[in-house]
Structure 1
Amino acid sequence: MSLKTLENSLEILKYFTRDRSSWGVRELAKEIGISHSIVYRILSTFEQYGFLIQDPISKRYKLGFRFLEYGQMVKEDMKLSHYIYPVMEALSNEVEESVFLTWLDKFDGVTVEIAESSQQIKYAVSLGTRTPLYVGASCKVIMAYLSKEQQLEIIHEGLQQFTNNTILDEEKLLSNLEEIKAKGWCYSVGEYSDAVFGLGIPLFNRQNEIIASLTIAGPEYRIEDIHLDNILKPLQDAGAKIQNYLYNFSGRYV
C-alpha cells in the first residue's frame, strides 16, 4: 500500500461521523473529491476486514464491529471502569445528575465514560460522542488550559453555532476561557444542547498537562432549584480522587 493510499483510506474513515454515519460510494467520492473507483476499492477493503459493513439493499457503508472491539480495548487499557467509574457513579448518586468523563483528542473532546442519572428526565449522550472544544462546559474547561496558540488555531478553523447560546465571537470566547481558567471550573447553559446545564472541572496528567474533564450535566430547569456550590464541591472532591489516580497511572493515555 502506498502512503497516498493510506492517507486516502484514513481520510475516508474521518467522514463516518455521528451526524453522517453511512455513505454511498459516489456521494462520498464527490464529498472528498477522490475518484469513485478509488473510494470503492478502499471501502471494499475496509469491509473485507470488518471495519465497514455494506447494507445489502441500499449499498451504503457504515462502521463495522471491528471499531467496537478496538474501542473496548482502549477503554480497558485506560482502566476507566475499574478505577474511575465508581467515583463517577457515587457522584451521580449524590447530585442526582449524569456525570461525564471527557477526554482530549486533538481539538475535540470525546466522551469516554458516563455515569447516568437515575432520574427519569436526564441529559444523556453516547460513549464516543465527539464535541468541539469551544462549546459546552465539558469541553471549554479543557480548551481553557490549552496554549493561546492552540486556542486561536481552534477558533480560526471556524466556529459552528449549535444553539443561540454558542459563543461565536473570538474576543468573547477568549475572555470566557480566561475566566474559566482563573476559576478552575466552567458552568454553561444551553451552549451545545438547548436547556441543558453543564458544570465541568479540568483533569491533568503527571506533567500537569490538560488531558480531560469531569462534568455534571442535566436539564436546565433543575439547576434553578440547586445552589451551584452544592454540586461544585462534590464535583471537585470526586475530581480530586480521579486526579490522584491519573497522577499515579502509568498507562499510555495519561
Structure 2
Amino acid sequence: MTLKTLGIALDVLSKFTKQHITWGLRELAKEMDMNHTVLYRILKTYESKGFLVQDNVTKKYELGSKMLDLLSAVQQKVNLSDFVVPIMKSLSNETNESVFLTWRDGFAGTTVEISESPQQIKFAVSIGYQTPLYVGASCKVIMAFLLPAEQKEIINNGTNKFTDRTLVEKEEILSSLEEIKQQGWCYSEGEFSEDVFGIGVPIFGKDEKILGSLTIAGPIYRITPDKKSLFLDRLLKGKTEIEQSIQLLGVDDVYK
C-alpha cells in the first residue's frame, strides 16, 4: 500500500463522525468524489478487520468493535490535561492574559490547570486553589448551571464578602446566576480579588452536565470593550475544543 492509498483510506474512516455515523457506498463516494470501485474495496477491507460493519437491511456502514478497542487504548494512555493545556497556552499567548481551568468540587471551584500571562503584571493563582462557587466569573459560571436546589444549598451554607463588589444576599446572587445562565458566560470585576477582571465560560461533559469553567483573568486596567469581546470569542472556541476532548476520551470527572 502506498502512502497516498493509506491517506485515502484514513480519510474514508474519518468521515464516520458523531454528526454522520452511517454511510452508504454511493453516498460516501459522492461526498468524497471517489470512484465507487476503489471505495468499495476500502470499505470491505475495513469491514473484514472489524473497523466497520455493514447493516444487512440498509447496507450502510458504521464503526465496528475494533474502533472501540482503539478508543479504549487511547483513553488509558492519554489524560485530558494533554489536550487541555495546549489549548490554554495558545489562548494565553493570543490574549496576553492568564487562562485557568476550574473544576467543581462540592461548594467550591478548584483551579486544576493554569497558563499564566507572559506579562509582568498578571493574575496568578496556584493549582489546587479553591474559591466559593458564588463569587467570581470562574465559579459563578459553574454555579449558574447547577439545579436551583443546589444553588440555594450553596448560598445557605454561608456567604462571605471578599471585596465591596462581592454579592452575598441570596436574591442578588440568584438573580445574577439567572442572567449568567441566559447569556452563557460570566464577566466579573473585583468580586474576589480587588482590581482583577474575569471572563468565564462553562465546560460541560456528558448529558450536558456542568463540570467546570475556562476563564481569562487579568488586571482591570487592561480590559477594554473590544478586548472583552475578543476574549469571549477566544474562550468559546477553547471551550468547544475542550468539550470535544472530553467527548473523545469519554471521561468526565477526571480532575476529581
Q: TM-score, normalised by structure 2?
A: 0.67
What is the Cα deviation at residue 153 of structure 1?
0.5
Structure 2 unmatched runs, 5+ = 1-75
2:229 is the alignment partner of 1:203: no
Q: Tell me by how many angstroms 1:248 deviates.
A: 2.2
Specify whether residues 224 and 252 from structure 1 end up closer, same or farther in structure 2 by C-alpha distance, changes over 3 A only: closer
SS for the counterpart of 2:192 is: coil
**C-alpha distance in structure 1 between counterparts of 2:81 and 2:226, whole Å:** 29
Aligned counterparts of 1:126 and 1:172: Cα–Cα separation in 2 = 29
> Partners in 2 of 1:78 and 1:110 — Cα distance?
22
User: 1:228 Cα deviation (Å)?
Assistant: 1.6
Task: Please give the secondary structure, in 2, of the residue aligned with 1:203.
Answer: strand
1:225 to partner: Cα distance:
6.9
**Which residue number in structure 2 is paired with residue 85 of structure 1?**
85
2:243, 2:183 → 1: CA distance? Answer: 18
What SS is found at the alignment partner of 2:236? helix
Larger radius of gyration: 2
Q: Which runs of 5+ in 1 are unaligned?
A: 1-75
Equivalent residues of 2:211, 2:252 under 8 A apart: no
**Structure 1: distance between partners of 2:198 and 2:107:** 19
Helix, strand or coil at the partner of 1:200? strand
Q: How many residues align?
A: 179
Q: Partner residue of 2:127?
A: 127
Equivalent position of 2:171 in the other structure: 171
Q: CA deviation at 1:77?
A: 8.8
The one-letter code of the counterpart of 1:219 is P
Q: How does 1:1-254 map to 2 (within 5 A)?
A: 79-224=79-224, 226-251=226-251, 253=253
CA distance in 1, matches of 2:77, 2:182: 33
Q: CA deviation at 1:81?
A: 3.3
Structure 1's 207 and 88: CA in aligned 2 closer, same or farther, altered over 3 A?
same
Counterpart in the other structure of 2:47: none
Change in CA separation of 1:236 and 1:195 when aligned onto 2, cut-off 3 Å: same
Closer/same/farther in 2, CA of residues 79 and 96 from structure 1, 3 Å limit: same
Q: Secondary structure at the match of 1:207?
A: helix
Deviation (angstroms), 1:78:
8.1
Deviation at 1:212?
0.7
TM-score by length of 1: 0.68
Which residue identity is paired with 1:126?
S
Q: Which residue identity is paired with 2:121?
A: I
Whole-angstrom distance in 2 between the partners of 1:78 and 1:126: 24
The 4+ residue runs of structure 1 with deviation greater than 6 A are none
**1-structure distance, mates of 2:238, 2:147:** 26
